[in-house]
Amino acid sequence: MTTVSVEKTRVVRSGQRFMSGDDACAEGALSAGCRFFAGYPITPATEIAERMARRLPEIGGVYIQMEDEIASMAAVIGASYAGAKSMTATSGPGFSLMMENIGLAVMTETPCVIVNVMRGGPSTGQPTMPGQQDVMQARWGSHGDYEIIAVAPSSVQEMFDLTVEAFNLSETYRVPVFVLADEIVGHMWERVNIPEVESIKTVNRKKPTVPHNNRFEPFKPDEDFVPPMAVFGEGYHFHATGLTHDERGYPRTESAEAQTKLVQRLCNKIRKNKEKIIRVENTMLTDAEVAVVAYGIAARAALSAARKARERGIKAGLLRLVTLWPFPEEQVAEVARRVKAIVVPEMNCGQIVREVERAAKETPVIFLSKLGEEPHKPSEILDTIEGVQK
């Protein structure tokens, strides 16, 4: 990456700000070190592109509007391999088009961030309405076996914080990381505290320390299953491919051993590091008899409902999933062992609830579906909590 030196204050706009979730996401990306954005306009994520188009040139970065989301995702991978922290932002229809090259990013272990401000689907669906319908697509959308990381912001502040976190995770594990927001979180305005430059933790990919010679192995992992990353132009003359490859980066299309070794490592670098990756937020769960498990916008109504239940003498609590993938299975199982029932509100027809059911084992799980314009009302979740206690 060719870098232009600019004052850090121009990059990080520290202080108390009032802005939308989409804007906070863009500022979070810049604070994390993002210097390349390729995208295609789509409601309700367009404001991220607009802010990046204005802000990136101010700090010597690159914004480009590509011809479609397939191209956007390909360009993001190219820029990452040229040394830039890179991202794109989209919504359901664009996310579908990106799946092809998200698979390429997984296979070539490309650090990058994909923001999906979820709207209502399937297909063109409801462009201006919220949804949480792409959660399973985020996990399984591209073909083949792999593990992925996804985080779900619930507030404008988290659109900033979790975008920074997404970049750090992608650089640490060399994997595409999803920020799964929704139309409400993306479009609502709230106060955001943007920290001072020094207190924003950023992570850069590991660099190879071996000499530039023709024996360089660009996909040879360290003990954490993650290979250090060379980038173009450094003199390594390395090769990367979407084909199954060995540690040298060379195609091994007919070797069961190479396929097993590579694909298992791609899964293991997430699975074996999940304790370091997964984040959940426990509220009033210590003595809870009913737990709500929620994420994104639905978690806000869930928190309100749990508090109201407490006011009425019901021991309710909230397990908020900050990380959706890898799924916080042990955290859910631990809560499930202690409560009578789990309530899962989601703005879809039932996606994360399947994972919750799997982790909860014998504990009953009650699903609250919501589609269309409005998120769950706290009263709807409260009624369900009260129903459990009867």
Binding residues for another protein, rule: CB under 8 A, are: 1-2, 4, 6, 10, 35-36, 38, 57-58, 60, 62, 64, 66-68, 70-72, 74-84, 86, 100-101, 103-104, 108, 214, 232-243, 250-251
Choice between 88 and 132, CB closer to another protein: 88
Residue 237 CB, nearest approach to another protein (Å): 6
What phi, psi does 347 have (nearest 5°)? -90, 65
Residue 17 CB, nearest approach to another protein (Å): 18
Dihedral sign for Cα atoms in the order 206, 151, 139, 39: negative
DSSP collapsed to 3 states, 179-222: EEEEHHHHHCEEEEEECCHHHCCCCCCCCCCCCCCCCCCCCCCC
Residue 18 CB, nearest approach to another protein (Å): 22
CB atoms within 10 A of CB 135: 26
What phi, psi does 333 have (nearest 5°)? -60, -40
Residue 86 CB, nearest approach to another protein (Å): 7
Choice between 15 and 387, CB closer to another protein: 15
Residue 341 CB, nearest approach to another protein (Å): 45
Choice between 11 and 339, CB closer to another protein: 11
Residue 350 CB, nearest approach to another protein (Å): 32
| Tally of CA atoms within 13 A in the half-sphere of 198 that contains its CB | 0
Cβ burial, residue 127 (10 Å; 0-12/13-18/19+): middle
Q: Give Rg (Cα) of the chain.
A: 21
Choice between 98 and 164, CB closer to another protein: 98
Sequence-distant (6+) residues with CB within 8 A of 383 are none
Cβ atoms of 36 and 55 within 8 Å: the answer is no
Choice between 20 and 244, CB closer to another protein: 244
Choice between 81 and 327, CB closer to another protein: 81
